[in-house]
Every structure is written in C-alpha cells, then in structure tokens.
C-alpha cells in the first residue's frame, strides 16, 4: 500500500504517509505539555503513525491568554522534549503546529476584546469588537514565532507546521473580510499575506535552511465569502513559489460552515479531496497533505494512488483508535475502532476537558485506565445491548469475568443502531457493527429476545449487574395517539415500521431532524412539528454537527412548524396550536421523535433485592453515546 511507503518532507524522511492531524485543545493550568500528552502522542506513534503533529502551540501571551499549549521560554522545553522522545521511540517523527494566536476566535477571556488584524466582531461574542494589533506588535509576534520554533527544534521537534488555517490569527490577516489595515500588512493580497510570509522567513532563519517547515492553510471557505477559492489558490501558489515551505496542509471551510472545516458525523469520507487537483495544479511537486474523514482506509489509499495528495492526516479517527495505522498495515480492518464523527473530542475540549472520545474512553488516560485481569471470576450480568451495555460486556470479558448479556430485542445496538441507520450516518453504524464483532470475539454469552424481570435476575443470581436498558420514547398524551398511523422514530429509522408518503414528525430535536431528512431523501413529504421556537433548540452537540444537520434540513424541502403544540391526531392529519390558532396538517403517518424518559424500576428492584448493581447510559438519563460507553467501560474497569 502506498500508505506505508516512505516519503521525504524536505530533509525529513517519514516511514509512512499516515499523520496524526493537528487538533486544537485546551490544556492544564501550566499551559505546557504534561505526562498525559506524553502518553497520548506516544500511543499514536506506537500505533504506527509516520508523523505525529500536536494541535496549535502559541508563541506568545502578550496579546491574548494562551488557549492551548505555549512555547514561550526554555522552561517549556522540558516536557515538550519528553513528548518528542516518546514519539521517537517508535520510529515516528514529531512536529508541532506553531501559532501566533487565535485573534477574534478567542474564547478564553469572554470579557476583554481580543486583538485581531483589524477591528472586527469576536466570534463567540459579536458585541465584543476586536482591537487592531499595532504594527510593532505584529513584528514582535513574528520574532516570537522564530524564537518558539528554535525552542521546538532544540526540544527535538522534527518539523514545524505554521498554523495559517481556520479563521485564526494568520488567516485573519490573509482575509480581506477581517483585514482592513492601512499599514504594510493590509490592503492587497500580497500585503495581507506579509504577516504569514515574514513568519515563515523568521522560522526559516531561526531553524536553518534544511529544517522542515509546513504550512496549514485554508483553501476556501466554501459556503461563506470569507475566502474565495481563487484567493486560496493564489496563497498556495505563493507558498510553493517561495521556496521556503516543504509541505502544504490544506483544508476548507470557515466557522460559519464549520462542518466544512472540522468533519461532522454527516460528512462523506474524504470530503476535501475534491479540491486537491486544483491546489496541485498551482503547487507542482510540493508535497500536499489533506484531512477530512480519511480514516477510511480505501479512501485514504485511493487519494494517494490517484496522486491527489502525498500524506494522509487523520485526526478524530486516531483519537478513536490510536493503532489505526498498524491495523490497516496488518490487514486487521475489522479490528479498527471506528470514529463516529460525533465531535465530542472537540466539543468537550472547548469546555476544558482533556481530549475525550465517545468510543475510546482511554483517550488521554492511556496509562490511567488500563484493564487488569480479574482477581476472582465474578458472575457479571449486563442487561441491554446498546453501546454502553455492549462495552460493559466486552470489558468484563476482557478482564476475565464470567459475563452474560441480555437484550430484549432480537438485535444488538439499542438506539445507536437507529442513529446509524440513515445513509448519511454510516460511521455510527460502523461503530455498532464493531461492538457486535467485539462481543462475539470475546465470547460474551448473549441472549437476544430476553426481557429481564427481577425474577429473572434473582434466578440468575449475579455477583454484579449492569442495567443498560436505555430509555422509553415519549409519546405526547393527546387524543389519537394510539391510532394506526402513529409510529415511533426508532422502528421507522430501522425500517421495522413503514410510513406513508406524507409524514408529520413530532419533535424537531436531533432525532426528529435526522429522521425527517432521511424520510425526505426517500421521497416523502415531511413536516416537522416542534414546540420550541426553533428546531434543535436544546443544543449540547458539536457546532459542526449542528450546522451540518441544519444545512441538510434546509436543503431537504422539509416544512417546519415551530412554536407548535400538538393537540390531536386525526385519521388523516394532526391538529396543532400555532400562533393561538388550531391548524390541521394533513398526513398519512405520524412519527413521534419527542424525546425519551429513563425508566429506573428494574434497577431499583435489583438494588432492593440486595444485589450489587449499577445503571449506565440512557437508563440513568437520556444522554449521549460518550456517557454510555465511558460508564460501561469504567464501571467494569474498577470492579474488584
């Protein structure tokens, strides 16, 4: 496979073309690298990556508080060197993404106007107008980038990737939308690029002619005017012709269409590759790297074989499975723990968490959450084969417990199977299939079609029980709720229950919107009836996923009725109060997607019977896959 061929980036030779993509994250109170970083990056190197890149590392705190790791003095070298050493142990190369700052994207200090290329609204608080960086401050940042690059080189870092991407500070200078300066760093594209080009020159002078330098750049903003494609191609051409850059890492999108910039669950594999030929045409033989759901081995290999790119950057996929590269190389495709595209890693990092993962509870806890053999063979009963229940059962089997899994349906997967049913959510379905394979691989005793009662549990007499029975769907108690035209979202998504051509979906949350898009794509006429004043009003999901789902809804010809209270279901329609009036919406099918409610009765009965028992996932309260899988893993991990 071309994935595992060597490649030179300037003077640097990589053992293969698999790269841990740079992903931004918050860090601890020291703003430096720590022992968790050593373990995290080291595990991806151990897993077979040829190059391991960190997320953004800032060179200065003069104009903004550090939103991530910093590299501003010799004191910061100590831990960075240890990360580099760990990565090098496995034959991988190590690079950092170096940044002068994030400018208008700053969320660390929500009260102080940040600095940017010129006055413009802060992204998170548009009422906060950014201050223009003074010219002498721009020059100090350029010098700081060179100094930090030299510190990195001294720490054992093999390559610097300059962060000129994604609407952050360098990109704000490059963009005419945000850069209205009148000094030498504003005006024409050449002047707007001056900040970036002088940074590259400074880094080159600080690190030497033979030291590898990459640039991550925004090619275009796709569905936003922030960066026209022609301008992005000119930036790429300038970088290539400068002779100072050894690699271009390109991406697309803007914060207004974040799902083009950071992959969402709804995006197809390799979604940025469509622009590769255009950028290749202006950059010639300069190595190119792309990202964007390239954790699908066939798509990654084809991109290389077709000559679209020279390196494959994988971000979320390598959080989910740090050993992706070795598994692909060894033909163990079915053993890859697939990323589901939920964005919990990014979503929760923005809240200060240490890079969590919905399907890999060990992420950023590589040496803390290790499984140990069971000290005694306890009899473990897991009730419910959703993601949390399957993970608990798998983990119990891995530790050597005697484990039995009961599931009331004739299938495993729980609500997650329905979540992965639409064609645009194949990554979620891949995780369901992976968990089922793991249940079988570890020999978990499984009983399908088994509805658990307290009498069953008593007869089984377990030493430890995990209740993972999920939650019950909410059906709004209105006249007609039991009519034959009424269905529930999960059986409809799984195609276990058919609907007609004219469908009303009750509920405009994520499930209701996904169901509506799936039905619309199958040719149905769909109306969403939502009580709130807008769809997806409850939030709580990664912005890229939310934006992408809204995009799918808006491009699916779905009739949306918000601030609408359902009052009755008829034989051929529904009645809802909208703006104080009763409105009849004709349909031949009604599907409830109005949320879920946990049922704690079985759990409480088991506790009352004196058994040791825990509940996980939606059985605690309707939540997310990250909660279910993490709880399933960790409750069993610590079981003595």
Active site residues: 168
* 369 close to 409: Cβ distance less than 8 angstroms: no
Burial 604-640 (b: 16+ CB within 10 A, else e): ebbbeeebebbbbbbbbebbbbbbbbbbbbbbbbebe
Q: What are phi and psi of 99, to 5 degrees?
A: -135, 140
Name 94's bridge partners.
52
Task: Name the 3-class secondary structure at 278.
Answer: helix
* 98 close to 71: Cβ distance less than 8 angstroms: yes
**Sequence-separated (6 or more) residues with CB below 8 Å from residue 283:** 236, 237, 239, 240, 248
* 571 close to 586: Cβ distance less than 8 angstroms: no
Q: What are phi and psi of 473, to 5 degrees?
A: -65, 145
Q: Token digits for 623?
A: 């939540």
* Sign of the dihedral defined by the CA atoms of residues 598, 604, 607, 609, in that order: negative
What's the rounded Cα separation, in Å, for the pair 330 and 1?
A: 11
Task: Name the 3-class secondary structure at 282.
Answer: helix
CB-based burial label for 251 (10 Å; 0-12, 13-18, 19+): buried
| C-alpha separations of 577 from 526, 529, 534 in Å | 18, 10, 15
What's the rounded Cα separation, in Å, for the pair 545 and 539?
A: 11
| C-alpha separations of 596 from 262, 470, 474, 532, 592 in Å | 29, 9, 5, 16, 10
What's the rounded Cα separation, in Å, for the pair 84 and 250?
A: 24
How many residues are listed for the chain in this entry? 640
What's the rounded Cα separation, in Å, for the pair 563 and 565?
A: 7
How many Cα atoms occupy the beta-carbon half-sphere of 108 within 13 Å?
Answer: 19
What's the rounded Cα separation, in Å, for the pair 200 and 163?
A: 11
* 185 close to 117: Cβ distance less than 8 angstroms: yes
Kind and range of the H or E element at 315?
none
The residue to which tokens 């992959």 are assigned: 263
> Within 10 A of 39 (CB to CB), how many other CB atoms are there?
18
CB-based burial label for 466 (10 Å; 0-12, 13-18, 19+): buried
Name 582's bridge partners.
577
* 387 close to 379: Cβ distance less than 8 angstroms: no
* 269 close to 299: Cβ distance less than 8 angstroms: yes
User: Which of the 8 DSSP states describes residue 424?
Assistant: G
| C-alpha separations of 424 from 457, 518, 552 in Å | 39, 8, 10
Q: Token digits for 550?
A: 């809204």
Task: Name the 3-class secondary structure at 538.
Answer: coil
């Amino acid at each position: 496979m071309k994935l595992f061929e060597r490649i030179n980036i300037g003077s640097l030779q990589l053992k293969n073309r698999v790269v841990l993509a740079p992903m931004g994250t918050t860090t601890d109170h020291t703003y430096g690298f720590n022992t968790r970083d050593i373990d995290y990056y080291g595990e991806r190197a151990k897993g077979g990556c040829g190059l391991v890149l960190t997320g953004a590392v800032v060179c200065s705190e003069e104009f903004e508080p550090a939103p991530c790791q910093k590299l501003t003095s010799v004191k910061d070298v100590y831990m960075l060197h240890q990360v580099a050493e760990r990565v090098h142990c496995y034959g991988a190369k190590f690079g950092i993404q170096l940044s002068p700052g994030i400018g208008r994207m700053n969320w660390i200090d929500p009260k102080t106007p940040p600095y940017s290329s010129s006055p413009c609204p802060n992204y998170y608080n548009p009422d906060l107008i950014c201050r223009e960086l003074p010219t002498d401050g721009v020059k100090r940042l350029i010098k700081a980038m060179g100094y930090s690059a030299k510190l990195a080189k001294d720490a054992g870092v093999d390559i610097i990737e300059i962060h000129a991407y994604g609407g952050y500070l360098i990109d704000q200078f490059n963009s005419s939308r945000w850069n209205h300066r009148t000094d030498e760093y504003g005006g024409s594209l050449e002047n707007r690029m001056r900040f970036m080009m002088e940074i590259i020159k400074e880094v080159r002078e600080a690190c030497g002619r033979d030291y590898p330098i990459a640039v991550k750049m925004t090619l275009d903003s796709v569905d936003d005017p922030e960066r026209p494609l022609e301008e992005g191609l000119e930036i790429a051409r300038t970088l290539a012709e400068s002779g100072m850059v050894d690699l271009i890492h390109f991406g697309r999108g803007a914060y207004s269409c974040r799902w083009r910039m950071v992959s969402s669950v709804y995006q197809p594999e390799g979604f940025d590759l469509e622009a590769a030929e255009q950028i290749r045409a202006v950059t010639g033989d300069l190595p190119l790297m792309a990202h964007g759901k390239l954790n699908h081995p066939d798509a990654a290999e084809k991109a290389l074989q077709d000559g679209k790119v020279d390196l494959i950057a994988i971000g979320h996929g390598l959080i989910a499975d740090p050993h992706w590269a070795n598994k692909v190389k060894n033909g163990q495709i079915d053993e890859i723990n697939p990323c589901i595209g939920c964005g919990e890693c990014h979503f929760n990092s923005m809240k200060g968490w240490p890079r969590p993962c919905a399907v890999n509870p060990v992420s950023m806890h590589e040496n803390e959450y290790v499984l140990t053999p069971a000290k005694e063979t306890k009899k473990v009963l897991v009730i419910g084969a959703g993601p949390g229940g399957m993970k608990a059962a798998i983990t119990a089997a891995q530790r050597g417990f005697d484990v039995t899994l009961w599931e009331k349906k004739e299938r495993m997967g729980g609500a997650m199977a329905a979540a992965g049913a639409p064609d645009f959510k194949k990554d979620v379905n891949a995780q369901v299939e992976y968990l089922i394979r793991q249940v079988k691989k570890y020999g978990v005793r499984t009983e399908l079609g088994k509805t658990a009662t307290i009498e069953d549990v008593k007869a089984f007499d377990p030493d430890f029980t995990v209740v993972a029975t999920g939650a019950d769907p909410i059906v709004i108690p209105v006249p007609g709720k039991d009519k034959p035209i009424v269905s529930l979202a999960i059986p409809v998504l799984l195609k276990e229950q058919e609907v007609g051509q004219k469908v009303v979906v009750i509920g405009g949350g994520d499930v209701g919107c996904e169901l509506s898009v799936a039905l619309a794509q199958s040719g149905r006429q769909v109306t969403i009836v939502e009580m709130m004043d807008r769809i997806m009003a409850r939030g709580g999901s990664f912005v890229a996923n939310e934006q992408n789902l809204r995009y799918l809804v808006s491009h699916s010809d779905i009739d949306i009725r918000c601030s609408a209270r359902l009052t009755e279901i008829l034989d051929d329609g529904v009645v809802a109060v909208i703006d104080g009036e009763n409105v009849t919406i004709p349909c031949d099918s009604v599907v409830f997607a109005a949320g879920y409610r946990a049922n704690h009765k079985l759990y409480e009965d088991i506790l009352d019977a004196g058994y040791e028992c825990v509940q996980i996932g939606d059985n605690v309260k309707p939540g997310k896959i990250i909660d279910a899988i993490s709880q399933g893993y960790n409750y069993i991990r610590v079981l003595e």
